Structure 1
């Protein structure tokens, strides 16, 4: 099993955390992709992932799975260990719902701000920018942080009392927010406390 990614990027981080939670990091070969050099847009990489983004999972039979949620779902089902996606239909639905809210409202919103309303990764990578859209998404990210703080006022983790991929996605989203200089208000005490708790997990703290 191979994973094409860039260490430290938000979505690759989600996959790496999921692998670590399952105790499977040493069962995967990581292959770096030169995003800054445009390798992700090459014909060779697009043959693996037409989306031209990382991460991308290559299975033993040579097939490929793209899209971070699909990759983490495969990891969760393929390797032993506590489920990250839920065990009952209700749990799976709630995890999926909260994961999408964290992904769309936080991680993707911060990404849109970074890639559209800041210099991002530079002019060779950041084409067709729309600053107005980016600034609007920055507001969405801030609103989502406040929403997640409210959820965490009543739950230990985002989808209930168990750590899940929703927590992984939100954690990666907050890390991206730090990098993009999108402030996380100290007043969101539940979110701040949850972040410290998640950061101390062996899958993240090392």
Structure 2
């Protein structure tokens, strides 16, 4: 008599909303590592408020996407933390740096791109525009949002200066910082935050990154 044993899946799950800027960061990181097919994507209906339900907040108390669920049932949220896990778990070129100096530089530039660009555009979108609509935008401060739009513009100019001397934001290697900044610029397009054509280094870098297989497909 033969006994069939059902093997437990070890596939990781990513709870996200395709097309949103932060989920895009994780999807790009997975593609860079050649690991897109090693995870299952679980769609979260953000427009319907699913991310604010008790069931989802049990996975991620931040009530935002994306959220990584590991095979043991534990969860990791925050894009930087998820990307660091992906980078260490899968084979392929490092996205977070290989030496202490590289890791510090990537972390520094990732924070500058995240706080000064991606999050700043997000604050403008959610506070100074209709954002995702009155059902989801339950508190808005237009003054704060418009100030963050200024911060985003200043950060774009700063990144343009960095790219005058570097192929990528943290040096000569593509990294997590580039993914974050690229997502930030995409969000800027969506939120109608102008990316000046005069920032030639930033625009050339953006075209170069957009051509990568992980993004261009």
Query: Do both share a fold (TM > 0.5)?
Result: yes
Q: Which among 102, 105, 110 is matched to residue 99 of structure 1?
A: 110
Q: Which among 65, 68, 71 is matched to residue 60 of structure 1?
A: 71
Match of 1:33 in 2: 44
Gaps of 5+ in 2: 1-11
- Superposed displacement of residue 131, structure 1: 0.2
Secondary structure of the 1:2 match is: strand
TM score, norm. by length of structure 2: 0.95
- Superposed displacement of residue 127, structure 1: 1.0
Q: Which runs of 4+ in 1 moved over 2 A?
A: none
Secondary structure of the 2:101 match is: helix
2: CA distance, partners of 1:189 / 1:16: 27
2: CA distance, partners of 1:29 / 1:144: 34
Match of 2:194 in 1: 183
- Superposed displacement of residue 174, structure 1: 0.0
Secondary structure of the 1:26 match is: helix
TM score, norm. by length of structure 1: 1.00
1: CA distance, partners of 2:139 / 2:214: 37
Is 1:73 the counterpart of 2:74? The answer is no
Match of 1:200 in 2: 211
Q: Could you list the per-position Cα deviations for residues 140-187 of structure 1 after superposition, in whole angstroms to 9, with x for gaps in the alignment?
A: 000000000000000000000000000000000000000000000000
Secondary structure of the 1:48 match is: coil
Q: Could you list the per-position Cα deviations for residues 17-44 of structure 1 after superposition, in whole angstroms to 9, with x for gaps in the alignment?
A: 0000000000000000000111000000
Q: How does 1:38-53 map to 2 (within 5 A)?
A: 38-53=49-64
Is 1:7 the counterpart of 2:52? The answer is no
2: CA distance, partners of 1:166 / 1:72: 11
Is 1:171 the counterpart of 2:171? The answer is no
Q: Which among 115, 125, 148 is matched to residue 159 of structure 2?
A: 148
Matched residues, number: 206
Q: Could you list the per-position Cα deviations for residues 76-102 of structure 1 after superposition, in whole angstroms to 9, with x for gaps in the alignment?
A: 000000000000000000000000000
Larger Rg: 2
Gaps of 5+ in 1: none
